[in-house]
Amino acid sequence: MMAYLQTKYQRRGSPMAELIATLMCGPRGRAVPDRKAQKNGDATRRSPSSVPDTLSLWPLYPHQPYPNSLVCWMVRYHGVLAPNPTYLPAFSSTSQERNTMRLTAVIILLFSILTVAGTSAESVALQASRDNTLYEDPDGALSNGSGSYLFVGFTNNSAARRALLYFDVAAAVPAGATINEASLTLTLSKTVSGAQPIEIHQCQVAPANRPPPPGWGEGTSVASGQEGKGASAAPGDATWIHSSFSDATWANAGGDFAAEVSASTTVDALGAYTWESAGLVADVQAWLDSPARNFGWILVGEEEDSKAAKRFNSRENSSADTRPLLTIDYSIPPPIPTAVGSITWAGIKGRVR
């Protein structure tokens, strides 16, 4: 252990000191007997009614690692350094009390070791692996798979636009990690309307004819001009009708997605906007735990009022700093030790009897 491990337990007449010392100290060292007890003819026993016993564990050489043993630890007991637990003061107690306190000591010891090890907190920023826009069209013939922009909302031609985003979470976050925070940032690059709420939903793809994750496609189509009208769908493109043009279709026109809103924010003037919520954390955690169920998100805006559409920069946009970005904070739990130096589970079980 590279850091200080200090555990203090205070209780009158407790035998806890004996157990932790036995677990933590190696066989090396000379005992320092209880001088006061020697005068009374007993070098190993202290009256339970004396001062409270306080046990502290300190590293003897804190700057030198001892990977194979814990003999570098000393027990400070009432100012007496005792590397050998055989000579620690003993106390009068019943067998049940002693076993209870010993088991508690084991739990405290292991918890302390894990606390010193700590969890590893990390952060990663992911750019989208795939994105596209669903242009409302009865034939499902429009898309913008490789375009520079994404569209969300209702156009002045009374046609809806919905954006698809996919982030390969499992490729960037270690399996078994715990997702603590998740936020999605998009850059609004054009608008002709005022403030509008933009919702994020988990995308869902029907099993029939489902392409590999994310279950919908991004082809080579590129719309002209401001890209608001879309372009002819290319093979593999997601469209209003197709999850992958023209082989696989959505169960519902306009894309399949969960009714529950994962996150929502109000978008108004040009600039960067961030969505963050417990729902996004849950989505990302679910995708990490089950990558095959990661179908990404679909963004849905106001679809009743005309001229409410918003344009965001896509992952193909020439301005790299304005592309969709998913920021994830996660923790990796420390491994559960089966042996710490010369301490093994078998040894612990043998001592707690």
Helices and strands of the chain, counted as H and E runs: 5, 21
Q: What is the 3-state secondary structure (H, E, C) of 199-235?
A: EEEEECCCCCCCCCCCCCCCCCCCCCCCCCCCEECCC
**Model-level pTM?**
0.66
Model confidence pLDDT, tens digit, residues 230-284:
999 999 999 999 999 998 999 999 999 999 999 999 999 999 999 999 999 999 9
Residue with token string 């990977």: 67
Q: What is the pLDDT of residue 157?
A: 87
- Whole-number Å distance between alpha carbons of 168 and 7: 43
Q: What is the pLDDT of residue 114?
A: 53
Tokens found for residue 232: 């002819």
Of 38, 34, 83, nearest in space to 58 by CA: 83
Q: What is the pLDDT of residue 205?
A: 86
Residue type, 39: K
Q: What is the pLDDT of residue 180?
A: 98
Residue 128, classed as helix, strand or coil, is coil
Assess contact for 244 and 233: CB atoms under 8 A: no
Assess contact for 10 and 62: CB atoms under 8 A: no
CA terminus-to-terminus distance, the chain: 27
For the chain, residues with pLDDT lower than 50 are: 1-34, 36-38, 42-92, 116, 340-341
Assess contact for 132 and 236: CB atoms under 8 A: no
Phi, psi of 18 (to 5 degrees): -60, -45
Which are the contacts of 59, defined by CB distance < 8 A and separation ≥ 6?
A: 1, 4, 5, 72, 73, 74
